[in-house]
Amino acid sequence: MKKSIKSWKFIPCLVLLLALSLIVGGCGTNSQTDAAGKEAYKIGAVIDISGNSSSLGVPERDTLKMMEEQLNAKGGINGHPVELEILDNKSTEQEAVTAVKGLIDKGVLAVIGCSSSGPSMAMIPTVQNAKIPMISLAAASSIVEPVSERQWVFKTPQSDIVMVNKIIGYLQSNNLQKVAFMSMNNSYGDGGKKTFAVAAKESNITIVAEEKFAADDKDMTPQLTRVKASGSQAVIVWAIPPSASILTKNFKDMGLTIPLIHSHGVGNQNFIDLAQGAADGVILPIGKLAVADQISADDPQKKVLDNYITDYTKKYNSAPNSFGGYAVDAFNLLVNAIEKAGADRTAIRDQLEKTQGYTGISGIFNMSAQDHNGLKPDSAVMVRIENGKWKLIK
């Protein structure tokens, strides 16, 4: 009897909690209309702002906010202001799916995200079912392949295969035939590993050791010990910071002298800073943004790159990186498509697929019904890190 009386006390608390959650939930943004009375176009974004991939997500969020401001200052799309809602997926698959479902319920026209491959992959079934165009900012080729199962999904970073071919080219021209491959134990690492294994086989490069590590591992010495014993002539690593930086430090500490080749996942200053000097000598394929000051003046991307660097640096007091660049391209591709298609999701998707000759930060995009990325190998360059700076390898 005493117990039942006690439990009565909880009920008002529960009611209060429920009421509170309803109030908070009900505070969603109402669509604004501008002075001319045209309804705002809603776009959603799900970004890895906190968690393991935050080094990717934060510049992306900052870039998207800047792009939204610039666009609305210019009068939006055909007079419609753009309302961009950016949600954080905490770098997890579950939060990404919850976030995208929430955005779809709010009636967004399209979704940008996520920053990393795992959460992007997790959102695909949801957007495919809801028939909402999605532009991912993550690298794995499997996000847009096979296109027959990914009609609604596009992505702006160079696919793994573009970067893998750059690396293979470097290995061949330096006559390195036995390599070790190390990857993060997630979709990004697995994507790179699969693509590299296929490409290496075709070009007679032998993988003598394959190692994995977790995104939050603190010491990769055991894996590197195995690599050292394998007699490989170079190490290829498919990871993002901080684990990529820790690995690089361990690599140097162990006194390994073979070439260390990273993927474009380390294409930000954060990687170099965290490695505390150990990053010098690291070789990687990367978009042209990082070396915009070193590419030739007649490069078709030169002007786009310089504009973005100027705008971003002015607003945030730090240089942009390739991840922010992926967001620029996603936002612009979407704006171009909405401009032609209006507030019709199917038409937006069709327009995205028809994108031709869009000159962006990551390259020149030519999409088709077979290619939802649209970038060619010429969109990347090989760089070497020297004194904490990116140096173009010519």
Partner 1 sequence: MGEQLLQLLFSGLTVGSIYSLMGLSIVSLFNITGILNLAQGEFVVIGALIAVSLCSIGMPMIVVFPVSILLAALLGGLIERLTINRARGASNLNMLIITIGISISLRGLALLIWGTDTYSLPAFTKGGPLFLGGAALNPQSIWIFALAVVNFAGMYLFFEHTYWGKAVKASVNNRTGARLQGINPHTISLLAFVTAGGLGAAAGVSIGPITMVTYDMGFMLGVKGFVAAAIGGLSNVSGAVIGGLFLGILEAFSSGLISSSLKDAISIIILILVLLFRPEGIIGAKRERKI
DSSP string, 262-292: E-GGG-SHHHHHHTTTTTTT-EEEEEGGGGT
Q: How many CB atoms lie within 10 A of CB 276?
A: 12
Among 131, 201, 218, 354, binds partner 1 (CB under 8 A): 218
How near is the Cβ of 373 to partner 1 at its closest, in Å? 28
Among 21, 78, 173, 225, binds partner 1 (CB under 8 A): 225
Q: Can residue 335 be called a binding residue for partner 1 (CB under 8 A)? A: no
With left for phi above 0 and alpha for psi between -120 and 50, is residue 146 left, alpha or beta?
beta
Alpha helices in the chain (DSSP H): 2-26, 54-73, 93-105, 117-130, 160-173, 187-202, 221-229, 243-253, 269-274, 302-316, 322-341, 345-353
Between 63 and 245, whose beta carbon lies closer to partner 1? 245
Q: Can residue 303 be called a binding residue for partner 1 (CB under 8 A)? A: no
Binding mask 28-57 for partner 1 (x = CB under 8 A): ---------------------xxx--xx-x
Q: Can residue 318 be called a binding residue for partner 1 (CB under 8 A)? A: no
Helix (H, G, I), strand (E, B) or coil at 317: coil
Rounded CA-CA distance 208/364 in Å is 36
Assigned token pair, 187: 């979709």
Q: Give the contacts of 146 (CB within 8 A, at least 6 positions apart).
A: none
Rounded CA-CA distance 179/205 in Å is 7
Among 81, 242, 267, 320, binds partner 1 (CB under 8 A): 242
Residue 125 identity (one-letter amino acid) = P
Helix (H, G, I), strand (E, B) or coil at 361: coil
How near is the Cβ of 253 to partner 1 at its closest, in Å? 4
Q: Can residue 245 be called a binding residue for partner 1 (CB under 8 A)? A: yes
Q: Which 344-383 positions form the footprint of partner 1 (CB under 8 A)?
A: none
Assigned token pair, 30: 């109402």
Between 159 and 250, whose beta carbon lies closer to partner 1? 250
Between 154 and 326, whose beta carbon lies closer to partner 1? 326
Q: How many residues line the site for partner 1 (CB under 8 A)?
A: 35
How near is the Cβ of 185 to partner 1 at its closest, in Å? 6
Closest C-alpha to 41, from 67, 63, 72, 73: 72
Q: Can residue 274 be called a binding residue for partner 1 (CB under 8 A)? A: yes
Among 203, 276, 313, 356, binds partner 1 (CB under 8 A): 276
Q: Which 110-149 positions form the footprint of partner 1 (CB under 8 A)?
A: none
Closest C-alpha to 168, from 147, 146, 195: 195
Between 58 and 143, whose beta carbon lies closer to partner 1? 58
Q: Which 177-216 positions form the footprint of partner 1 (CB under 8 A)?
A: 185, 211-214, 216
Q: Can residue 299 be called a binding residue for partner 1 (CB under 8 A)? A: no
Count CA atoms within 13 Å of residue 282 on its CB side.
33
Between 150 and 212, whose beta carbon lies closer to partner 1? 212
Residue ranges binding partner 1 (CB under 8 A): 49-51, 54-55, 57-58, 185, 211-214, 216-219, 221-223, 225-226, 228-229, 241-242, 245-246, 252-255, 270, 273-274, 276
